[in-house]
Structure 1
Amino acid sequence: MPDRFTVQHREVGMLRIYLKPSDKVGPRRFWGAKPFYRELIRTAKADGIINAVAQNMHYGFSNRGPIRENESEIADPHLTICVELVGERDQLNIFCRRHGDLLGNKVIIYKQLEHWTITRETERTRA
């Protein structure tokens, strides 16, 4: 059976930015400032980053701080949250330089990845 799909791959990178869900950005309003992790994702979208997500953690520590955990009924606003950005290495580098005032004291990890695109072969390309 001939392959019906083609796999193309290219190098990309992933940044993991660790912060607290209680970290805020912008002016304080009556109902509070914007959550920093949400603003990071909105900024990443505006900057053309391929993928950006926030992941809640259940137990752990960051930046040599104390171990934190979410209780069964109450979420700990200081337990680490991870914002993960995927894009070209240069694009992620520019993102960090552009927003360094917000990222300066955060734990940031870079990892090299491959982005795979799977496409259906057409009759013309199989001949």
Structure 2
Amino acid sequence: MQVVIFKLNDEQFAVETAKVQSISDMMEVTKVPKAPKSIKGIINLRGNIIPLLNLNLLLNIDKLHDGVQQNIIIVSLEEESVGISVDQVDEVLEVEENMIETINDKDKKAYIRGIINFKDRIVTLIDIDKLMLN
């Protein structure tokens, strides 16, 4: 399976490339009045209006620094396109299924598919569908 690895604060996360439509640089975000806090706003991507979600809020990760989020990952969610803002997209990698360790913790969040244990780092693999539909 191929995954896109990205960073939020100092943590690395991954999402399957099968769910990813495109990756772009941060662009102008139009705020939406009275929208839920998880929605940063909307973006205009090549003429398509796409909601941009605050992934930090959805994953319950405090923003540690005032650095600008550099990338937007456009994902498919039930035939809709949704953008998620991330600090930085690091790489696209091929991951073998046996590299993914499942978490058997009763407190585990439903959207965590597992942990990818590389020799030099650990990456949390998230199921974007379960995260967005929670």
TM over 0.5: no
Greater Cα radius of gyration, structure 1 or 2:
1
TM-score scaled by structure 1? Answer: 0.25
